[in-house]
A and B are shown apart, each in its own frame.
Chain A
């Protein structure tokens, strides 16, 4: 099956088995290793990517479902540079081993687009499908709070 989709801002056309998993298409056939396979069953969120701006688990998507879509991984999340969520994760120590980070980054970025001024409880709920076994979540939540503030300032600055 010929698949055409946009990946991190670049058009891609590939001839692939439509039954492959999207995570394998991205990692093995496109060379984009930002999404990780943690559990492979939708429990951990490490494989999360944005499909047309919404969070999806790429381990539970087929290659065929990518056709015609715009896919954004942590690699292309901020465009040319890092996204404010990625900067805040680095600055606030929200990254330890880094395995969950790409999934956390895209999930938090999509959440902040819709909820620019969230409470900590809302952040924890939004990230409840992203497991981290290192930092203990506090620093990740700190980072998302910080990112929300950075994004609000950016928006305010443009007005």
Chain B
């Protein structure tokens, strides 16, 4: 096997041109597990760990740009993310374990495109945008469209995910993430919920909700979002939205949980929002 260590994103694209069958490796925490199982046997690996311009967190006015090869630990420990994107910070904190977080990257999580990807529901509700690089130019698309199914993305041959740009929600927006797993660390999500709630004058002005692990990729529920809008953020309100959530999700039975359990938990995770949003509505 040949392992290449390009130092710039341009050099990565050049390596992909020279070796069309090469695989990209970011943290390796998924790819090398699959290699061990015999599921992949790359002849050429392009390793992204030393590509400086794919790594790092940058504040750009009202948005935060995160390089695709930025580790989950760097996201978890970044001051701007902690302060302005607590939703993403909480998802990074629930991600695998500290050693895995030192290796695994945001871009790797998105490109692996697991239905249980921890960072995907937060990035979807935040309206994050993926920047895709290629030798013929750069294109952008919502992260929600970037992941097209389990293990599938919009990346074409020769393309590279360069970064993700996340708009910072306005002040007063409630950001919430919760992951239910079999244990706290190293758990693949049974269900996860990312939510943004804008509460104005005691009622929910806007709700954005996304669930992980209850469908082939992230599940949104416009019906529940519409139902919440204009109502007070009480337990009754969130309970009333539950029925549309149970209809919207498409979970499967697997070793971690039954579809029925996932459907029920997906709806019940909304109830936690009453604890967070209720005081905001009163205050």
Question: What is A's interface to B at a CB cutoff of 8 Å?
Answer: 1, 17-19, 21, 40-43, 45, 48, 54-57, 59-62, 64-65, 107, 111, 125-126, 128-130
Contact = CB atoms under 8 A, between A and B. Distances in A.
Given A18-B1, A65-B47, A128-B184, A55 B36 contact: no
B28 A61 contact: yes
Contacts of A126: 98
Contacts of A65: 3, 28, 47, 49
Contacts, number: 74
B3 A62 contact: yes
Nearest to A129: B97
Most chain A beta carbons < 10 A, residue from B5, B32, B99, B102 = B99
A77 to B, nearest CB: 15
Contacts of B103: 56-57, 60-61
A31 B29 CA distance: 25
Contacts of A54: 102
Nearest to A127: B98
B280 interface: no
B2 A42 contact: no
6 contacts: A1-B3, A45-B97, A61-B28, A61-B103, A65-B3, A130-B97
A55 B102 contact: yes
B1 A128 contact: no
Given A18-B3, A129-B186, A41 B36 contact: yes
Nearest to A40: B36
Contacts of B186: 43, 128-129
